Amino acid sequence: MVSFIKLGIFEREAKTPALNTRQLALLLCGLDPELKTQEIPTEMEKPYNIYYRHIGKWMNTSGLFRGGNSSLHDADKMFALAYPMIDDDLTPQPIKDRCLRAVAIIASKNNGKETLLRLGGEELSIKGAELSKNQRGMHRKEDERANTDILLGLLVKLLAKKVGHSYGTIEKPQISTIYNELCKLADEEGIPLTGLSKSTIYAKIRNSISSITYLINYIK
């Protein structure tokens, strides 16, 4: 069993028994759930505000939560509600996995279908039914994404190790340098970066490095 203190921030947060609206919105954005509002990076303010507003709206509509946005709520219900809101680029893999697991947990309980329907509508209810029928099959896509994150993390660390200097170190690759060089390369090769904003690329690289850190600690 991996020591709790050696886990990455998102692996630790995936184990939390309860969280509030702000913390869930930050996690979906790939940010530290304890960040103060004024500390949120400028490029992440819009995604955060969208998540915060819609999480609160869905919670109120469901009728399954007591207390407001600042109150702590059951993690299974919160993460299950967040499943339809996952962003492939921004949301860290441990949080994606936790959301999926929350849907499966609720789906396996009495009245699980009704609960999921109230949390996220028909889409979430259907996902719960699918998981109940074939949990292994539903995990395949998430496993593929996790493997892609690991591969990207290894490539980033390899680049930092081989080049060094402004690229950082294998322990701490310099994301800003890698981003700038990627943009230059794309421009030189005439490759459009449509859909790959700065915040998306930064989040992808951060998440991939986090996946490697988790793997290393897990092996230990």
Q: What is the pLDDT of residues 60-83, one digit of tens each?
A: 999 999 989 999 999 999 999 999
pTM above 0.75, yes or no: no
Instruction: Check whether residue 118 and residue 51 sit in a common domain.
Output: yes
Instruction: Check whether residue 16 and residue 74 sit in a common domain.
Output: yes
Instruction: Check whether residue 17 and residue 116 sit in a common domain.
Output: yes
* pLDDT number for residue 211: 84
Residue after which a domain boundary falls, among 110, 136, 162: 136
Residue after which a domain boundary falls, among 94, 110, 136: 136
Instruction: Check whether residue 118 and residue 150 sit in a common domain.
Output: no
Residue after which a domain boundary falls, among 117, 136, 155: 136
Query: Based on the number of CB atoms within 10 Å of its own CB, is 104 exposed (0-12), middle (13-18) or buried (19 or more)?
Result: buried
Contact 20, 42 (CB under 8 A): no
Instruction: Check whether residue 124 and residue 200 sit in a common domain.
Output: no
Average pLDDT of the segment spanning 74-97: 96
Percent of the chain surpassing pLDDT 90: 69
Instruction: Check whether residue 117 and residue 158 sit in a common domain.
Output: no
Average pLDDT of the segment spanning 4-17: 91
Q: Is the pLDDT of residue 168 over 60?
A: yes
Write down the number of H helices and E strands in the chain.
Answer: 9, 2
For the chain, the average pLDDT equals 90
Non-local CB neighbours of 106 within 8 Å, separated by 6+ positions: 76, 77, 80, 112, 115, 116, 119, 128
* pLDDT number for residue 219: 55
Instruction: Check whether residue 98 and residue 184 sit in a common domain.
Output: no
Average pLDDT of the segment spanning 91-114: 94
* pLDDT number for residue 220: 52
- Is residue 143 very low, low, confident or very high in pLDDT (cuts 50, 70, 90)? confident
Instruction: Check whether residue 8 and residue 62 sit in a common domain.
Output: yes
* pLDDT number for residue 137: 56
Q: Is the pLDDT of residue 142 over 80?
A: no
Tokens of 6: 């050696």
Range of 34's domain?
4-136
Q: Is the pLDDT of residue 59 over 80?
A: yes
* pLDDT number for residue 218: 61
Instruction: Check whether residue 173 and residue 115 sit in a common domain.
Output: no
Q: Is the pLDDT of residue 184 over 90?
A: yes
Instruction: Check whether residue 84 and residue 187 sit in a common domain.
Output: no
Q: Is the pLDDT of residue 124 over 60?
A: yes
Instruction: Check whether residue 125 and residue 201 sit in a common domain.
Output: no
* pLDDT number for residue 196: 86
Percent of the chain surpassing pLDDT 70: 94
Average pLDDT of the segment spanning 1-12: 83
Choose from 53-57, 108-112, 135-139 the range with maximum mean pLDDT: 53-57
Q: How many structural domains are present in the chain?
A: 2
Non-local CB neighbours of 200 within 8 Å, separated by 6+ positions: 89, 90
Instruction: Check whether residue 151 and residue 93 sit in a common domain.
Output: no
* pLDDT number for residue 1: 58
